[in-house]
Structure 1
Amino acid sequence: MKIVQILKALGDETRIKIMNILRNGPLCVCEIEAILEITQSNASRHLNKLMNANLVTYYKEAKYVYYKLNEDTLNEYRFVKSILEDGLEKEEKLKLDYDILVNYREAGLTCETVNQIRDVINKIKSN
């Protein structure tokens, strides 16, 4: 049953956090990692579960894969949309993640800049 798969997918804090920041539009996996401070493997694993439940979809642009909320599923299962629009505003951790996302976007950061910053940090660590 699709609804069971959706409820299982929503039963994890990291997946809820991913859904929360995707409310603001598509993000690539490196942006999700940076905003939520999780590893790429962790982000990918949770994104796969969200995609299997049809809550998230993706598209490719150049060398990056961008993830976004699946509006068809959100329209079919309106309770999910309701949770995203109303319920998440009450959670402090989710508000903080969303604030980080807003500041990230206002700073003009992108997948490319996130990778450049990561490269600089890795160079510093290796010295």
Structure 2
Amino acid sequence: MRINGIAAADRFKALADSTRLRIVNLLREGSLCVCNIEQVLEISQTSASRHLAKLQAAGILESERHAQWVYYRISAQFLRDHEALMTYLHREADAEPQLQQDQARLAQHIAEGTLCAVLDPVPIPAMRLERAPHAR
């Protein structure tokens, strides 16, 4: 099965890696640049870039350049086509300790102002209502 020229198997392969799931989990909150992702997940820039490239090639993420920074976000098309999958991932993230820790670290960095500017949040209001509020 192909959606927009990308096989469904390729999308699931891209999500079958714990680091890439952690990245998608972070990007539920909005766009982040590579340096933000590496900082929050405590991974190298090379590793972050490699995982982001795989997610982008699978049509899960899209990017936008702002000056010298490249910001990544979950693709609007992916959100539309895979709403049930995103709802499932969201529910699972709330039960997964590592993903909860990542969200807590992201919230801490945002509160401390130690991240590059965070762009507009991902338009998933129903999913965001389910999350416990955190400081921004």
Q: TM-score, normalised by structure 1?
A: 0.83
1:101 to 96, 106, 119: 106
Instruction: Tell me the SS of whatever aligns to 2:65.
Output: strand
Residues 16-35 of structure 1: pairs in structure 2 closer than 5 A:
16-35=21-40
Amino acid at match of 1:104: H
Q: Which is helix-richer, 1 or 2?
A: 1
Largest Rg, 1 or 2: 1
Please say if residues 29 and 40 of structure 1, whose CA atoms lie closer than 8 Å, have aligned partners that are also in contact.
Answer: yes
Q: Which runs of 5+ in 2 are unaligned?
A: 118-136
- CA distance in 2 between counterparts of 1:41 and 1:83 reads 29
CA RMSD of aligned residues (A): 1.3
1:70 to 75, 85, 91: 75
Runs of 4+ in 1 over 3 A off after TM superposition: none
Counterpart for residue 61 of structure 2:
56
Amino acid at match of 1:100: R
Amino acid at match of 2:34: V
CA positional deviation for 1:87: 1.4
- CA distance in 2 between counterparts of 1:62 and 1:83 reads 35
CA positional deviation for 1:75: 1.4
Residue deviations 1:1-32 (CA, integer Å, cap 9, x gap) = 42111110110000000000111111110110
Residue deviations 1:17-51 (CA, integer Å, cap 9, x gap) = 00001111111101100100000110011001100
Amino acid at match of 2:48: A
* Length, aligned pairs only: 112
Please say if residues 23 and 84 of structure 1, whose CA atoms lie closer than 8 Å, have aligned partners that are also in contact.
Answer: no
Instruction: Tell me the SS of whatever aligns to 1:86.
Output: helix
Q: TM-score, normalised by structure 2?
A: 0.78
- CA distance in 1 between counterparts of 2:109 and 2:61 reads 21
Q: State whether structure 2 residue 18 is matched by structure 1 residue 13.
A: yes
